[in-house]
DNA sequence: TAATATAGTTAGTCAAGGCGAACTTTTCAA
DNA sequence: TTGAAAAGTTCGCCTTGACTAACTATATTA
């Protein structure tokens, strides 16, 4: 049996994969320039990352050619996106954080939280939804609780962390 | 008014500060060797980090001398520790994650989650506690929910993220 | 107190991941 | 169809943060 040693991707490379997947989904083709724009990185940095990802067989890439994800790369990218969505969803729908802040935080946290915790977050969302259906809206209760106890002076007043 | 431009600390430097605070709290003095041990890093890396932190006036450091936190460094370190504890606490007491996994994840996530979200997590813990007192034990309910829906085959079976 | 073990530092190296400037390819409009 | 403009690449450089090996300072103990 041939074992391909695949080391865990760095946060940075995961970001590139994620961006490529998102761009591919949107417009069918991921252009180097757009990746740079999305990740707020120079075009030359993108080239470097693409070379690395190609070495790892995660993207099909030849200079001046099209950029596509390999099957392996697609799978990896989907995992990242999935993690991202679960985390963001938790922030928004349970914690009541605004989508923009939640998205940015998810971007960073998606590289920090392992499968067990992400799974638990997912379950928790499901739990809240189930509870919601059976009468208790957890998110709403929490929001009310925050309003009563912390938000008296205004939205998110008194942040001192 | 003199403004000291203090750039945000890198994750790595935050880790050093945190380790120094924890060691100081435990044994009154943080030794270079112990920092290396805690962070699983070479002694020379510690020296390098201490030099950087000293430049930023966050530690009092002279070669071969004692290592202590400045007031500023102490304040920063406490923020990091506070963030860490809130996040870990959420993982353990709400999500029901084991303390070891939770601690490691908190270590990584504490650099990724901003004040708003950490605050919300803290509030959520308080919310759960308040609810707990008034009859509904959220954490217990969630655990039950997980057991009923996901843990049928064993603890954390079916992790596919 | 001298010898040695331990702690700490220095110097040199490396890899990752960024950048800008200059160059090459491709595209598109006149 | 040709010549700019846009897109992409290459090159050289920088920073961060880690490492090892070799050195120096401090502590300990016989």
Q: What is the pLDDT of residues B2-42, one digit of tens each?
A: 554 567 999 999 999 999 999 998 877 899 999 999 999 99
Q: CA–CA separation, B58 vs B39, rounded Å?
A: 18
User: Could you tell me which residues are beta bridge partners of residue B59?
Assistant: B69
Read off the DSSP letter of residue A155: T
> Residues of A numbered 92-151 whose beta carbons fall under 8 angstroms of chain B's beta carbons: which are they?
94-97, 101-102, 104-105, 108-109, 111-124, 126-127, 130-131, 136, 138, 141-142, 145-146, 149-150
Sort out which chain A residues have CB atoms less than 8 A from B154's CB and list them: none
Across B66-85, average pLDDT: 97
Is A11-69 a domain of CATH 1.10.10.10?
Answer: yes
Does the C-beta of B29 come within 7 A of strand D? no
Rg for chain A, CA atoms, rounded: 19
Across B40-57, average pLDDT: 98
Q: CA–CA separation, A23 vs A7, rounded Å?
A: 25
Burial A91-107 (b: 16+ CB within 10 A, else e): bbbbbbbeeebbbebbb
- Amino acid A43: pLDDT: 98
Task: Return the axis-axis angle of helices B99-109 and B71-89, rounded to nearest 10°.
Answer: 130
pLDDT tens figures, A8-59: 999 999 999 999 999 998 877 899 999 999 999 999 999 999 999 999 999 9
**pLDDT band of A96, cuts 50, 70, 90:** very high
Residue A63 · residue A113 · CB < 8 Å: no
- Amino acid A91: pLDDT: 98
Q: CA–CA separation, A128 vs A150, rounded Å?
A: 22
Across A3-9, average pLDDT: 69
Burial class (CB in 10 A: 0-12, 13-18, 19+), A61: buried
- Amino acid B60: pLDDT: 97
- Amino acid B73: pLDDT: 97
3-state SS class at B94: helix
Does the C-beta of A10 come within 7 A of strand C? yes
Task: Return the axis-axis angle of helices B99-109 and A115-133, rounded to nearest 10°.
Answer: 100
Nearest nucleotide to the CA of A51, by C1', is D9
| Of A111, A136, A126, nearest in space to A9 by CA | A111
B77 CA, C13 C1': Å apart: 31
Across B75-93, average pLDDT: 97
Give me the residue from B105, B108, B124 closest to A95, CB to CB.
B124
- Could you say which architecture CATH assigns to the domain B81-152? Orthogonal Bundle (1.10)
Percent of chain A with pLDDT over 70: 89
- Amino acid B153: pLDDT: 55
Q: CA–CA separation, A54 vs A67, rounded Å?
A: 10
Residue A16 · residue A49 · CB < 8 Å: yes
* Domain spans, chain A: 11-69, 77-151
**pLDDT band of B137, cuts 50, 70, 90:** confident
């Amino acid at each position: 049996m041939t074992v391909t040693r695949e080391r865990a991707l760095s946060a940075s490379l995961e970001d590139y994969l994620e961006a490529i997947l998102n761009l591919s989904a949107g417009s069918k083709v991921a252009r180097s320039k757009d990746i740079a724009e999305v990740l707020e990185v120079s075009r030359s940095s993108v080239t470097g990352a693409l070379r690395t990802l190609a070495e790892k067989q995660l993207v099909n890439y030849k200079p001046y050619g099209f950029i596509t994800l390999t099957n392996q790369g697609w799978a990896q990218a989907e995992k990242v996106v999935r993690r991202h969505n679960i985390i963001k969803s938790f922030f928004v729908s349970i914690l009541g954080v605004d989508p923009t802040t939640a998205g940015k935080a998810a971007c960073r946290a998606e590289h920090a939280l392992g499968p067990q915790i992400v799974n638990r977050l997912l379950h928790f969302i499901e739990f809240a939804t189930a509870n919601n259906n059976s009468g208790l809206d957890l998110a709403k209760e929490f929001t009310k609780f925050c309003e009563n106890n912390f938000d008296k002076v205004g939205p998110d007043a008194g942040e001192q962390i």
